[in-house]
Amino acid sequence: MTDQRKAPARRRFLKFAAMVPASLGLSVSWAKAQEAMIPTSDDMEGPYYISNTPVVRNLNRFGKPGEVMRIAGQVMNAADPDVPVAGARLELWQTDGRGRYHPQESGDYSDFRDDQIDLRGTVIADSQGRFDVLSVFPAEYWPRPPHIHYWIRADGFRPLVTQHYLDTGPGTRPHRTARVLRDQRPALYPAPTFYIEPV
């Protein structure tokens, strides 16, 4: 069987395996079961995407209002879920703590002054596919719960545009939702793992 034929079969197996504990009467959370939904599902691009944002270690470069938090996660190969995607590029954008994007426009980074671009940027995953960046807790704006937008790209993989959610309210997706851990300083958002598909 070719690698291309193995990947869909593996994904079907993982989805089936996620349902087995419940069918046997074992206790398993829906969120945990949904973590086996591989590859990560895409989502709407959402408003105000700006391309070619600079590589950053802190999305909040100009001190917009909001509770400080770290976003930390990992990018993995959907065809072989134990294999990290080294060097994946993640473009992130989100609102500040008052529900406002900066700027509230779309375009390319070159279309704006540098100080107009905030709470957005590019993060490069390390050799283990891990990424870590400072930000603030994004505010909800009706009817959306707090969320973070991502464009993820890596050589040899399909681009993925998706979102992560920061609570479990209506409209969130369990396999792409996590709670902020406020017992850490700064607070930590342990981002659900991304599984991206090879071309």
In this structure, the strands spanning 68-77 and 89-93 are unpaired
For 183, residues 6+ apart whose C-beta sits below 8 A from its C-beta are none
- Name the nearest CA neighbour of 69 among 196, 185, 163: 185
Domains of the chain: 41-196 (2.60.130.10)
Confidence band of 63 (pLDDT split at 50, 70, 90): very high
Q: Does 20 have pLDDT greater than 70?
A: no
Q: What is the pLDDT of residue 174?
A: 75
In this structure, the strands spanning 68-77 and 130-136 are antiparallel
Confidence band of 12 (pLDDT split at 50, 70, 90): low
Q: What are phi and psi of 88, to 5 degrees?
A: -60, 140
Average pLDDT over residues 3-22: 48
Average pLDDT over residues 174-185: 89
Confidence band of 27 (pLDDT split at 50, 70, 90): very low
* Bridge partners of residue 160, in order along the sequence: 152
- Name the nearest CA neighbour of 190 among 148, 152, 153, 140: 148
pLDDT > 90 in the chain, percent? 69
Count CB atoms within 10 A of the CB of residue 49: 18
CA distances from 92 to 22, 49, 63 (A): 35, 9, 17
Going 62 to 55 to 165 to 135, the CA torsion angle's sign is negative
- Name the nearest CA neighbour of 119 among 81, 152, 71: 71
